């Protein structure tokens, strides 16, 4: 199964990706996690991406398209994948079409901006795995520690309120047009499109997605 997770920063894409990965045995391709790994490793890509990400802006389409094409070509993606954070612009979506990469279902996570701003203040992440927690809504078993490794959780560099608001503005301007883009493809029978109420609690959303895709 090939799935696109579409939604604003903090809408819950990474959280539901954890559930979908386990349930359907397909890898998560999180372009944000890939970029953060590149920053940590100090690669040339990481050095280029850091300032852009810290400012809440988007990394260039050419770089992102190249990165995802290479990732999708790997053997673990042959039975499907979950795209989390890509495509994020019309040119990125066009590149998928041009490369004949078909998608079974696009899931749009709908959450109002004010809910997102509150959520992001409580987010904690495990950098090694990309696992995501929230201090109140989805807490780890031991405060500040990852459930599986016991390693420290951190606050993402781009989760400051001013940066979150900038990311939301860019989402509405550059990424939200993809909702209509994929709705149209769905009308032509080229994919399926499903809108999820992302304000429900984490387990309720997982149950909805399990039933939909099961
Ligand atoms: P990326 O890492 O993709 O960030 P994002 O899209 O902004 O999304 P987030 O990871 O912030 O949110 P999420 O939807 O995964 O929410 P989460 O599950 O964590 O990208 C980062 C940056 O990289 C971009 O700004 C850009 O610079 C660059 N980049 C990446 N891809 C790119 C591309 N294709 N093109 C160009 N540039 C690119 O949940 C958030 C919080 O809420 C957590 O604390 C979680 O526990 C909690 N939560 C989740 N669900 C619920 C719920 N139902 N109820 C209550 N709390 C919940
Ligand atoms: Zn994420």
pTM of the model as a whole = 0.96
> How do residues 5-39 score in pLDDT, each as one tens digit?
999 999 999 999 999 999 999 999 999 999 999 99
Q: How confident is the model at residue 176, as a pLDDT?
A: 98
% of the chain with per-residue pLDDT over 70: 100
Ligand 1 atom closest to 32 (CA): 2
Could you list the residue range(s) of the whole structural domain that residue 158 is in?
A: 2-213
Give the rounded distance of the alpha carbon of 33 from its chain centre: 9
Q: How confident is the model at residue 202, as a pLDDT?
A: 96
CATH number of the domain within which 47 lies: 3.40.50.300
Q: How confident is the model at residue 51, as a pLDDT?
A: 94
Q: How confident is the model at residue 177, as a pLDDT?
A: 98
Domain count along the chain = 1
Cα 31 to averaged position of ligand 2 atoms, centre (Å): 9
Ligand 1 atom closest to 119 (CA): 42
**pLDDT band for position 187 (50/70/90)?**
very high
């Amino acid at each position: 199964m090939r799935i696109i997770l579409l939604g604003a920063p903090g809408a819950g894409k990474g959280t539901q990706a954890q559930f979908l990965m386990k349930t359907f045995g397909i890898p998560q391709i999180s372009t944000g996690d890939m970029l953060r790994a590149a920053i940590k490793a100090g690669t040339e890509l990481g050095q280029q991406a850091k300032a852009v990400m810290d400012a809440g802006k988007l990394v260039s389409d050419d770089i992102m398209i190249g990165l995802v094409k290479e990732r999708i070509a790997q053997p673990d993606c042959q039975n499907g994948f979950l795209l989390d954070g890509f495509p994020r612009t019309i040119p990125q979506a066009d590149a998928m079409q041009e490369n004949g990469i078909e998608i079974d279902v696009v899931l749009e996570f709908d959450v109002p901006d004010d809910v997102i701003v509150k959520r992001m203040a409580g987010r904690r992440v495990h950098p090694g795995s990309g696992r995501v927690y929230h201090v109140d809504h989805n807490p780890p078993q031991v405060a500040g520690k990852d459930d599986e490794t016991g390693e420290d959780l951190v606050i993402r560099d781009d989760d400051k309120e001013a940066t979150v608001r900038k990311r939301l503005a860019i989402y509405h301007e550059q990424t939200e047009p993809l909702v209509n883009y994929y709705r149209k493809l769905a009308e032509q029978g080229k994919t399926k499109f499903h809108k999820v109420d992302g304000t429900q609690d984490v387990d309720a959303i997982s149950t909805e997605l399990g039933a939909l895709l099961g």
